[in-house]
Amino acid sequence: MSLLDELPGAETDTAGADIPQSAKPVSRTRLVFSRLRGMPRFWVGVVGLGAIALWAIFGLVPNAWNYTDLDIYNMGSSPSSLHWFGTSDIGEDIYAQTIVGLRKSLIIGLLVGPLAAIIAGIVGAVAGYLGGWWDRVLVWFIDLLLVLPSLFLFILLSPIFKSLSWVALIFLLAGFGWMIMARVIRAQTRSLRERDFIKAARFMGVDTWTIIRRHILPNVSSLLIIDATLGVGGAILSETTLSFFGFGIQAPDVSLGTLLAAGQSAAATRPWLFIFPAAILVFTVLSASLIGDALRDAVDPTSGANRD
């Protein structure tokens, strides 16, 4: 008996190689999280977005002003101990309005991103797995939406949505934000349907929708999670752009886009009307983008190797 045979926790195979008993295969989820732990930009994004979310929830607690209040004695005043971000031309508290606008923009972004990813996953998986005329029709529909100028359609539909709640804007943004990822999911599904575990499920009589739900979608879930995370920042920017030009959130509702639109004309003379909402927008979108970028590199290390 050799010395290696006496070591605890070790076995020797027929070729003489040592195989530790404690060695276990690492799951994909644990591997992704282990990669994320070593990415500083992921933690910067998580801390930043978490701080923004907490500020949006609790930021009004220490403030004495509501976003609809008017201080007629301090109209157009600069930041002070009374009004931390200053006031508008009619005495509105910019700090309170920024928090309320941030809440609205965050809600829209956090709902549009996952909703668009869900649509992309379902449409892409159905087209890729079923093939045939299902694939041709769905791909034609995806290509049609991709070539349509979405901003022009938003402008045309804005009179309809002005009479509706801002919740309608969530479905409008999600309806035009899923096509590219749907094509990616379709390509992945066409590859997955030829795998042995999919063929085995099909030969065992498992119906199509169960295969898509239990086997296809879980195997492309990492792509959908990345798309949903990156979609949060994109949706916030889209909502801000539409509201800035008057086609998104409408008064008396407030969003970061409406605040930027109201303050851009006075950016040179009263910069606090523009700078504070703009800085919050940049910080929020950057934090969400850092998280999505880190997730993408953790799932596929070749997409951005050694960037940290």
Write the pLDDT tens digit of every residue in 216-233: 988 888 889 889 988 998
DSSP assignment letter at 214: I
Please indicate, yes or no, if residue 14 is contained in any of the structural domains: no
Residue 109 is part of which domain span?
Answer: 27-303
Which of the pair, 100 or 33, is modelled with greater confidence? 100
Please indicate, yes or no, if residue 10 is contained in any of the structural domains: no
Number of domains in the chain: 1
User: CA-to-CA distance for 6 and 90, rounded, in angstroms?
Assistant: 84
DSSP assignment letter at 34: H
Cβ neighbors of 48 (< 8 A, separation 6 or more) are: 283, 286, 287, 290
Cα-Cα-Cα-Cα torsion 123, 127, 129, 133, nearest 10 degrees, comes to 150
| pLDDT at site 27 | 65
Question: 252: cis peptide before it, omega within 30°?
Answer: yes
State how beta strands 18-20 and 10-12 pair. Answer: antiparallel
Please indicate, yes or no, if residue 269 is contained in any of the structural domains: yes
Mean pLDDT of the chain: 82
Please indicate, yes or no, if residue 85 is contained in any of the structural domains: yes
User: CA-to-CA distance for 305 and 308, rounded, in angstroms?
Assistant: 8
Please indicate, yes or no, if residue 20 is contained in any of the structural domains: no
CATH number at residue 289: 1.10.3720.10
Residue tagged 């309005």 (tokens): 97
| pLDDT at site 89 | 82
Please indicate, yes or no, if residue 271 is contained in any of the structural domains: yes
How much is the pTM?
0.80
Whether the per-residue pLDDT at 284 is higher than 50: the answer is: yes
Please indicate, yes or no, if residue 21 is contained in any of the structural domains: no
Whether the per-residue pLDDT at 10 is higher than 70: the answer is: no
| pLDDT at site 4 | 39
Please indicate, yes or no, if residue 18 is contained in any of the structural domains: no
* Residue 302: how many other CB atoms lie within 10 Å: 6
Whether the per-residue pLDDT at 149 is higher than 50: the answer is: yes
Provide the 3-class DSSP secondary structure of residue 10: strand
9 Rama class: left (phi>0) / alpha (psi -120 to 50) / beta: left
| pLDDT at site 15 | 47
The residue-averaged pLDDT of 131-135 equals 89
| pLDDT at site 75 | 85
pLDDT digits (tens, 9 = 90+) for 171-204: 888 988 899 999 999 999 998 988 888 889 888 8
| pLDDT at site 14 | 45
